[in-house]
Amino acid sequence: MKHLTAALLMALSWTAALAAPLKLEPVAPDVWFVQGEAALGSPENRNFISNAGVVVTPAGVIVIDALGSPALAEELLEAIRAITPLPVRYVVLTHYHADHIYGLQVFKDRGATVIANAAGREYLQSDTAQLRLQASRETLAPWIDARTRLVPADRWLSGDEVLELGGVRLQLRHVGPAHTPEDLTVFVEGPRVLFAGDLAFRGRIPYVGQADSHGWIQALSRLITAAPAVIVPGHGPASTEALADLKLTRDYLQYLRDTMGRAAADMQPFDEAYAATDWSAFESLPLFRAANRMNAYNTYLLMERGAP
């Protein structure tokens, strides 16, 4: 068994060595992001399935989200050092899902201040978060292991706030409950870049889970009204067609609610309702087969309970 484990570690290390290094892509002057894969987290991709943002100011760096493993966070730090010698002063979390936070300890250990909405505290202290970490130590080994830990925020925000560093202003807006209760968006004022977290999934099916889809749709409508110049979603490429991308996620969520809501109201069994639904507008998107049925089922249960 020990030899098999060593062989597995060697194979995964070789896979990591062959993987392309994290690439910081510019979206505006002094604003960058790295793009995760359109896939489920796995040892082969090191749980690199979400995006992270970087804002460089004269007084230091602000990172938005921390990626899905400590190794990825280390690589992100190396990429940041290639564009500036300034330290990371803040990490702003859009929400506390695993693929956005397992790299957080790397930044925390180097002195960064972690900022998140206070609604994330309940999840972080829950059995669900601990069980998810325990499962990830098995399914995402060796990238998630016994040394990987959950990191609380240093500053828990109770509402909207402006974060200013080196003359650069970022609007931190609490838009949950939506995808999660603690959803936070980050709007860089000068270039009007919006880091939307998992409120927006570009070019792939979103993960709905136990989300408040009614609140999520309302939040997307508010973001559409704000008309950002560039949107960086939690997953997928950045876009200057923010309106279309925000509408795609909103329309998908609304379609789930409309179709599954009618089925629940008619007491139609879920399997029958799912098979009868026309999914053609979305079935060509990445991760449709992996996520859509689960999204539909969770929405069916939500509407069956009489949720707004």
Cβ atoms of 195 and 53 within 8 Å: the answer is yes
Q: Which of 295, 233, 256, 260 minimizes the C-alpha distance to 53?
A: 233
Q: What is the DSSP letter of 205?
A: -
CA atoms within 13 A on the CB side of 77: 22
Q: Read off the tokens for 205.
A: 């099916």
Pairing relationship of beta strands 113-117 and 88-92 according to DSSP bridges:
parallel
What is the tens place of the pLDDT at every residue in 117-160?
999 999 999 999 999 999 999 999 999 999 999 999 999 999 99
Determine the pLDDT at residue 239: 87
Spatial separation of the C-alpha atoms in residues 273 and 260, rounded to whole Å: 7
Reported as a pLDDT band with limits 50, 70 and 90, residue 19 is low
List of residues 6+ apart from 170 with CB closer than 8 A = 55, 62, 92, 162, 163, 164, 186, 187, 188, 189
Contact of 183 with 196, CB cutoff 8 Å: no
Ramachandran angles phi, psi of 91, nearest 5°? -120, 120
Whether 175 contacts 219, CB under 8 Å: yes
pLDDT for 76 equals 98
Choices 3.60.15.10, 3.20.20.70, 3.40.50.1220, 3.30.70.20: CATH for 15-243: 3.60.15.10
Mean pLDDT, residues 258-269 taken together: 96
